[in-house]
Amino acid sequence: PNIFKCCHANLQKLLELLMLLVYCNSSQHATIHTDDAEDGKPENLTSKLATNINALEILVDLMARCIPYIILYVEEHSGKRPALSAESLKDLVRFSVEAAIKIRRSSNDNRPSDTISSPNRVDLSSELLVTTLQLYSDHPDNYSIVEPRYHILSHYILAFPTFKEVSTKVLVLKTLEYVCTGLVGSDVTLPLTVTCQIYFALCRILMKKCSRDSSSGEKTKRMMGEFLLDLKALSDTIEKLFPLDESLYQVMCDCGFLDEKLQEYYKYVSSRRPVSEDGTCSSDLAKSTTMDETYVAICRILKLVIAQNEISPSRREFDRKVLNNFLACAIKELGDDACEASLSVFESMLSVGDRSASEDMSCIIDIIRCSGQKLPVSRLTKVFKMIKEALGKNAAAQDA
């Protein structure tokens, strides 16, 4: 426990000693051969290969004392730590989000974690992640040796919504980006899956809240605002990694983005629609709604997944009607930003797709017909502009 009171310099020394233990005897097993000696160094350089990974039990033990969701999990499961696997992932994601809600609602959190700020206190969770990043960058094989056993990065991603310090969250995402782009050939399926599931969980909690009511206490509004910032940060990283890692599209689909996730989001967005009793469009559209920013974050990733799905040889079949209705809701009922995000997805679909162009165009025509029910001219103008741009890119859409 005293490690939480040590100064930054002493903690650095402790972690350096830990890494020496991890690399212990590595010179007996691996060397890096270079053609030219640099700075007077011998041609055979000792490799920093993690050969004594049992030493990382110390790091894992420290993680259990400073990562918020693990602390709560241990408390609620009689001292048992979370065991991360494909089978347990959904339950752990749910637990992490619930833990994040508890932490944000608690005004007297005196846990030994990064949630406490003090000028003399080190951010242990961040320091452990920095050490992990150094470990993974010291040798290209270290990630493949360590991560499958300890799931260090995946646990940090799971804990993402429970961290209060923005710097810690940035470091988590930067580490993920490094592993996905800097360690070619490494299996990043689990970290990416955890990332997607946390992204979907945040989408769900925000959409659900916005669909119920717009009146909330200050603490709830602040909490939802923090979750929205988390969602945007995850969206930035997913958007950045999408063209660089082909497996991300598959992971998104395997997580059910085009199936149950989209159906669930449509349920929330449609349940808050301000329609009249006869089902016609409202004549009073707001410039913005509480759901807009979450909807935009979903569409940013949906656009990428749909576009990839249209050209993928392993194309996923899904209920196109749910997708079109989800997009139509924003044009008819949400604010300007959500409308533009929806039209961006529609344009992407029509620009590259051909097999579903007819169904997509039918949905758009139905939206235009809504103009007779007082759909604002500004919205109609945006729809026609989108159609013009999409038709210029895809002949199949013209035929539709």
Q: State residue 275's pLDDT score.
A: 39
Q: The tokens 């959409």 sit on which residue?
A: 207
**Quick one: which of 260, 366, 271 has its CA closest to 322?**
260
Strand partners, 33: 44
Q: What percent of the chain has pLDDT over 90?
A: 54
- Most trustworthy range by pLDDT among 25-39, 238-252, 266-280, 304-318: 238-252
Let me know the angle formed at the C-alpha of 340 by 338 and 343, rounded to the nearest 5 degrees: 110
Strand partners, 32: 45
Structure token digits, residue 104: 């944000």
Helix axes 166-182, 189-212, angle to 10 degrees: 140
Reply yes or no on whether the pLDDT at 272 is more than 80. Answer: no
First to last CA, the chain: 67
Q: Which pTM was predicted? A: 0.86
pLDDT band at residue 276 under the 50/70/90 scheme: very low
Q: State residue 390's pLDDT score.
A: 77
41 exposure class (CB count in 10 Å sphere: 0-12, 13-18, 19+)? exposed
State the Cα–Cα distance between residues 366 and 354, nearest whole angstrom: 19
Q: The tokens 């990630």 sit on which residue?
A: 143
Structure token digits, residue 306: 């749909």
